Amino acid sequence: MLPLAGLSLYALVEDGLVSEVDRALLTKVRLLSGAVDQADRELHLEFADPVTRDFLAGERGEHLQLYTAIGDVLYRSPSLGDHSLPLGAVSAEPAHAWVDVPEAGRCRTVTLAFEANVGEESPPGTVPAKLVLVLAHDARDVVQTLSTLRSRLVIVGLATLVVTAATLVWVVRRSARPLVAASERIAMIDESDLSIRLDASRVPSELMPIVKRVNGLLARLEAAFERERSFSDDVAHELRTPLAALRTTLEVENTRSRSPEEYARAIEAAAAIAVELQGMVERLLQLARLDAGCTAIESVRYDLADFAVETWEPYATRAHVRHLRVDLDLQHELQVSFDRELLGLILRNLHDNAVTYADPGGHVRIAVRSDDDGAIHLEVSNSGSRLDEAQASAATQRFWRGDSARTDAGLHCGLGLAVVEKATAALGGTLKLSSRVAGEFVAQVVLNGAARNPRVKPG
Amino acid sequence: MKILVVEDHAPLRGSLAKGLREAGFAVDLAADGEEGLWHALEEDYDAIVLDLMLPKLDGLSVLERLRAKGKQSHVLILTAKDAVRDRVRGLEAGADDYLVKPFAFEELLARIRALVRRRYAAKSPAVRVGDLEIDRAAQRVRRGGRDIELTAKEYALLELLALRAGEIVRRVEIWSHLYEFAEEPSSNLLEVYVAQLRRKLEAGGEPRMIHTRRGVGYSLEAMS
C-alpha cells in the first residue's frame, strides 16, 4: 500500500508540474505562432527581432525553432547555437515532449502546426504558408523538483516501512505474550502433574475458546490418569495382599514342627489363597481383554438353558457344601447364537458371585427366558444379601469394597461384576443389579437377540 | 505384649494372628476400619498392625482419629501401597513404621518387637535384672548362666515384669497385655502362671524375684 501511495503522490505532483509547464508553453507557442506574418511569399518573423529574441532566449531558458511543413528550418533561436529542436510527428493538435538540449539540459517542448498570418497587403488568393513551431522550455527546475520529491518519497517510504515493521513486530510480540505464557505452562505439564490449567483471564477473547478447550482436555486427562493410577493401586493391592497371606501362612507354619493335621490345614489354607489369586489374575486378564476392545463373534446356534446348566456345573459342589438350594427356572428350546465365550464369562461370574455371597443354607436361583420382543433375560440371584440398593448399583465398580460381606468371605476381588458388565456391553446388552439387605441380590442381564451381534463368523 | 491387627483379608489376618501368638504376643483382630478404631480406643496396645485399604473406614482415617484422641500406641502400617507418597502420608498421619506387602514374617516380627521396645524405652533387645537375662530377639531367658525354658505366656509375663522392673504392675494391666479381647479374666489363672514362673526361675536355688503385692499386682526385683 505504501509504495502505491508514494507512486500516486509522485504521479500527481509530476502531472501538476508538467501540466503547468505545458499550459505555459502552449500559451506562449500560440502567441509566437501569431507573430509569423506572410506578405505575398515572404515571411516576417517578429520573434526574430532582437527585443523579442532577448525576451525569448538565453536567460529565460526558452528556445524555439520554426520549420516549414516539410521540415526545412526557417528559424532557430540563437540560444540553441548549432543544435536543433527535433521535429517529431506533426499533427493538428499541439504535442508535448521531453527533449535533451545540449548545454541547456532537459527541456519540455511543444510542437504546434499552424498557418502564417497573411497580411492585407498580400495579393488576393495568397496561400498561407504551413509552418511548424517547436518551443522548448528549460525544465531542469521541474526535473530537480521531481527528483527531490522522488528521493524524499523513497526515504519517507523506507522510514515508514522500517517503523511499521518494528511496530508490527512489537504488536505481534505483545499480543503473542499470553500465548507464550500459555505455551510455557503447557510445557510444564507432564504425567506427574496434570493439575495445571491455562489462565483464561490473561488471553485475548479470540483465544478464549481454545484455552477453554485445552483446560477441558487437561481436566479429562487428569481424571483418566487418576482413574488409571487408582486402578493400578487397586491391582497392586489386590495382588500383593493374597501374596502376603500366602507367604505369611507358609512362613508361620514353617517356624516350628507341627502335626500332620496342622500341616494339612496350612496346605488347605495356602491352596485357597492360590485359588483366590488365580481367580483374580484371570479376571484381570478378562478385563484387560474386554478393555482392549472385544468383538463378539456369533456362534452356531445353541440351547441357552443347556448352556446355563453347563456353566453352573463347576459351582454345584460349592453350593452343596454351603447347603444352598438351587432353583433352575429355564425356558427350554431357546436357541441363541451369542458369542459363547462372552456369555460363558457372564454366567460363570454370576454363578460364582451367587455361590460365594449367598447366606449358608440359603438359595441360588438361575432363570433364563425370552420376552415377547425376542429379548433374552438371564437372571442369577442369591439370598442373604448384605447390600442395599445403592451399594448394589456400585458393585460393578472395579475393586469396589464397600461391603462387609466380601470381607467376611475373605475375598477382596471386586472384579467379577465389572467383568460381567463389560462382557454384557460387548454383546450389546444391559446389566441391572438390585438388592435389599437380608433379601435377594439379583443380577439381570438383558440381551437383545443374538442376530444383533456385530460380526458373524460362518458356522 | 498385646498387639492389634487390623486387616480385612481373612486368610492374612488369620496367619498374622497365628504367627504373632506363637511368638508370644496376645493378639486382637479387626476386619474393618471401624472395628479396628473401636479396639484401638478401648485398649492400650503395645503395637497396632494397620492395613490402609479397609472397608468402612480406611487405615489413614483410623490412624488420624486415634492420634486426635491422644492415643499414642505404636502403629505399623502394613499395606500393599508402596508409592513414596503413600509412605509419607502414612508417617505424617502418625505411623511409627511402614511395611509393604508381601513381606517376610520375620521382618514384621522384628519391627513389632522394635516398636514394643520403643514403648518401654529399651534400646537393646536384651533386658537384664540382677542375674536374670532376657534376650528378647531370641526370646531366650537365662538366670545365673542357666537357660530357662518358658511357655509363650510365661515368657510374655516375665518380659512385661522385666521391662517394668522395680515397678508394681497391676493385675488388670497384666491381663490386658497378656490376654486377648474375648478372653475372660481369671485371677486364678494368672496366679498359676506366676507360680510356674517362680518355680522355673528359682529351680537352681536362686532367691525370689517375682514378688506379690497383695491386692495390687506383682513386681520383678533383684533383691540384694
Query: What are phi and psi for residue B184, nearest 5 degrees?
Result: -85, 130
State the Cα–Cα distance between residues A381 and A444, nearest whole angstrom. 8
Least confident of A58-62, A97-101, A197-201, A268-272: A58-62
pLDDT tens track, chain B, 224 positions: 889 999 988 999 999 999 999 888 889 999 999 999 999 998 889 999 999 888 888 899 999 999 999 888 999 999 887 778 888 888 888 899 999 999 999 999 999 989 988 887 766 678 888 889 988 877 889 998 899 998 888 888 898 899 888 889 988 888 877 777 666 666 578 888 899 999 999 888 888 999 998 888 899 988 75
Cα–Cα distances (Å) from A231 to A63, A287, A398, A399, A416, in that order, read 104, 12, 8, 8, 15
Q: Dump pLDDT digits (tens) for A217-252.
A: 888 888 888 777 777 766 776 788 889 999 999 999
Query: What are phi and psi for residue A101, nearest 5 degrees?
Result: -105, 120
State the Cα–Cα distance between residues A165 and A419, nearest whole angstrom. 64
State the Cα–Cα distance between residues A141 and B45, nearest whole angstrom. 114
- Taking one residue from A and the other from B, the number of pairs with CB-CB distance under 8 angstroms is 93
Predicted TM-score of the model (pTM)? 0.55
State the Cα–Cα distance between residues A11 and A16, nearest whole angstrom. 8
- Candidate from A237, A272, A404 with C-beta closest to B81: A237
pLDDT interval class at A75 (50, 70, 90): confident
* A242: closest chain B residue by CA: B12
Strand partners, B28: B4
Cβ atoms of residues A301 and A338 within 8 Å: no
* Grid coordinates of A141: 527546475
Which alpha helices (DSSP H) does chain B contain, by range?
A: 10-22, 33-42, 59-68, 84-92, 105-119, 152-163, 171-178, 187-201
In chain B, which residues touch A (CB < 8 A)?
Answer: 8-12, 14-16, 18-19, 22, 31-32, 53, 55-56, 78-83, 100-106, 108
Cβ atoms of residues A431 and A445 within 8 Å: yes
* A254: closest chain B residue by CA: B19
Answer yes or no: do B31 and A403 touch at CB < 8 A. no
Mutating which of A407, A408, A413 best tests the B interface, going by the most B Cβ atoms within 10 A? A407
Instruction: For residue A277, give every residue at least 6 positions away whose Cβ sits within 8 Å of its Cβ, in sequence order, or none.
Output: A239, A242, A243, A246
Answer yes or no: do B10 and A404 touch at CB < 8 A. no
- Candidate from B10, B103, B108 with C-beta closest to A410: B10
Query: What are phi and psi for residue A69, nearest 5 degrees?
Result: -60, -25
State the Cα–Cα distance between residues B23 and B46, nearest whole angstrom. 14
Chain B residues with CB under 8 Å of A251 CB are 19, 104-106
Place of cell 520554426: A66
